[in-house]
Amino acid sequence: MFDSLEALSHRLDATGYFINPVMTQVIYLAARLQKPLLLEGPAGSGKTQLALSVAKAGNTHIERLQCYQGVTEAQAIGSFDSALQRLYLEFSKGQHTDWHSIQSGLAGREFFRPGPLMRALECERPCVLLIDELDKVDDGFEAMLLEILSAWQLSIPEFGTVKAKSIPFVVLTSNEERRLGDPIRRRSLYVRVEHPTPELESEIIASRTPDAETSFHREIAGIARSFRNYSLEKPPSVSEMIDFARALQLLGTNHVTEELRDVLLPFLAKTEKDRRHLMLREGFKSLLDDGERYARELAATEGSPS
Ligand SMILES: Nc1ncnc2c1ncn2[C@@H]1O[C@H](COP(=O)(O)OP(=O)(O)O)[C@@H](O)[C@H]1O
Ligand SMILES: [Mg+2]
């Protein structure tokens, strides 16, 4: 998918995904060694986006299995289309002479609707297989995946083993609602994804609000940091900070003041407890002060006027 580290780095850059050089190297190694990448970290820290960006950078498509409690193997692997099978039976009435021929007719590949796992293995050239929010499924489902990821094949009772035509670049993500099993951890390259550093976050914000000043981008990154250091139930993620920055632009301001607290709270407080916390006037004010301090520190390290 990527011939060199430089090519990956350059093409990932072009997708607008911001990443540190070490992480780029890990992605490159995972791609070359055909190892799944396991991204674990808080919601909104860019895990899903990374998989989408890698696909874009690799000029390939993405097969996405969105996990949730109760997702079935049939949804992941695929299942026979029973309506189509019934149609076939009606259409071919009288043509079958024995049970065996009916059975083998119905087990034809054309009646099987592949799910994302099977589609990924059947790709002629490697795609990105994103198995998103794996922490939402149970142990049994995880064990099934393990088999596919180690043997790169699927067993479907009706028509046997499907071997991979190409080995996908697998990205597993977890928001840590359940602890993933050790076997899947061992098989993968484990990457802890945290909220970005203020430097990186201000670049991300800059890319989404390019017409604003650098000082504005830094201020948002500083506020993000100060809110995450506060003990909130749901600290704001990058995507919330992007919305926050856009909201400020719409409000026609490039500086956050405490007067804007009530209109900005819906962007920053996502639970009643957090909202009440932030409604304490001194609480909000002191967070803004901290944010400004972080923004100044950022300006100092980046060596340009704040
Ligand atoms: N490193 C990054 N570079 C660019 N955008 C990012 C980055 N991290 C997060 N984002 C933005 O934040 C949004 C949420 O990220 P997402 O991948 O959905 O988070 P997660 O899957 O970890 O919950 C993305 O759509 C993207 O706009
Ligand atoms: Mg996600």
Residue 92 lies in a domain: no
Contacts of range 266-273, beta carbons closer than 8 Å, 24 or more positions apart: 267/236, 267/240, 267/243, 268/227, 268/236, 268/240, 268/244, 269/232, 269/234, 270/233, 270/234, 270/236, 270/240, 271/233, 271/234, 273/233
Q: What is the mean pLDDT of residues 85-112?
A: 82
| Per-residue pLDDT tens over the stretch 29-44 | 999 999 999 999 999 9
Are residues 258 and 155 part of one domain? no
Residue 21 within a domain = yes
Based on the fold, state whether residues 58 and 173 are members of the same structural domain.
yes
The per-residue pLDDT for 101 is 81
How far, CA to CA in Å, does 305 sit from each of 40, 210, 218, 296, 297? 36, 18, 11, 9, 11
Using the Cα atoms of residue 221, residue 223, residue 226 and residue 230 in order, give the sign of their dihedral.
negative
Q: Identity (one letter) of the amino acid at 283?
A: G
Q: Is 188 in the pocket of ligand 1 (CB under 6 A)?
A: no
Q: Which helix (H) or strand (E) holds 154?
A: strand 153-156
Q: Which of 192, 225, 245 is the last residue of a domain?
A: 192
Give yes or no: residues 213 and 172 share one domain: no
pLDDT above 90: percentage of residues in the chain:
79
Name the pLDDT band for 97 (thresholds 50, 70, 90): confident
Q: Which atom of ligand 1 is nearest to the CA of 16?
A: 4
Domain stops at, among 144, 167, 192: 192
Residue 98 domain-assigned (yes or no): no
Q: Percentage of the chain with pLDDT > 70?
A: 98
Ligand 1 lined by 28 (C-beta under 6 Å): no
Task: Say what the pLDDT of residue 182 is.
Answer: 95
CATH number, domain containing residue 65 = 3.40.50.300
Predicted confidence (pLDDT) at residue 294 exceeds the cutoff of 70? yes
Query: Is residue 59's pLDDT more than 70?
Result: yes
Rounded Cα–Cα distance for residues 299 and 250 (Å) = 25
Assign 27 to helix, strand or coil.
helix
pLDDT of residue 104: 80
Is residue 209 scored above 50 in pLDDT?
Answer: yes
Task: Kindly state whether residue 101 falls inside one of the protein's structural domains.
Answer: no
User: Would residue 99 count as lying in a domain?
Assistant: no
Between 253 and 91, the more confident residue is 253
Residues 170 and 211 in one domain: no
User: Quick one: pLDDT at residue 306?
Assistant: 46
Segment 107-144, tens digit of pLDDT: 888 889 999 999 999 999 999 999 999 999 998 999 99
* Same domain membership, residue 217 and residue 182: no
**Of 130, 165, 192, which one is at a domain's C-terminal end?**
192
What number of other Cβ atoms are within 10 A of residue 126's Cβ?
Answer: 18
Domain coverage including residue 143? 5-80+114-192
Which band of pLDDT confidence, cut at 50, 70 and 90, is reported for residue 304? low
The answer to the question of residue 106 being in a domain is: no
Instruction: Output DSSP code: residue 179.
Output: P
Instruction: Give the Cα separation of 137 and 141 in Å (integer).
Output: 6
Q: Is 2 in the pocket of ligand 1 (CB under 6 A)?
A: no
pLDDT tens profile 73-83: 999 999 999 99
Ligand 1 pocket residue status of 238, Cβ below 6 Å: yes
Average pLDDT, integer, range 190-206: 95
Nearest-CA residue for atom 12 of ligand 1: 239
Q: How many CB atoms lie within 10 A of CB 31?
A: 18
- In the numeric block, the tokens 């604003």 are attached to 212
Q: Say if ligand 1 is within 6 A of residue 39 CB.
A: no
Specify the pTM: 0.91
Categorize the per-residue pLDDT at 158 as very low, low, confident or very high, splitting at 50, 70 and 90. Answer: confident
Residue 261 lies in a domain: yes
143 and 50 in a common domain: yes
Best mutation site among 37, 136, 238 for ligand 1, i.e. most ligand atoms within 8 A of its Cβ?
238
Same domain, 284 and 258: yes
Specify if 103 maps to a domain.
no
Q: Does residue 285 carry a pLDDT above 70?
A: yes
pLDDT in tens, 218-256: 999 999 999 999 989 999 999 999 999 999 999 999 999
Let me know whether 171 and 286 are in one domain: no
Let me know whether 223 and 183 are in one domain.
no
Query: Looking at the 3D structure of the chain, how many domains does it have?
Result: 2
Give the phi and the psi of residue 7 in degrees, each rounded to 5.
-65, -45
- Is 167 found in the same domain as 219? no
- Are 37 and 178 in the same domain? yes
Query: Mean pLDDT of all residues in the chain?
Result: 92
More confident residue, 288 or 155: 288
User: Do 207 and 172 belong to one domain?
Assistant: no
- Tokens representing 36 are 């799944």
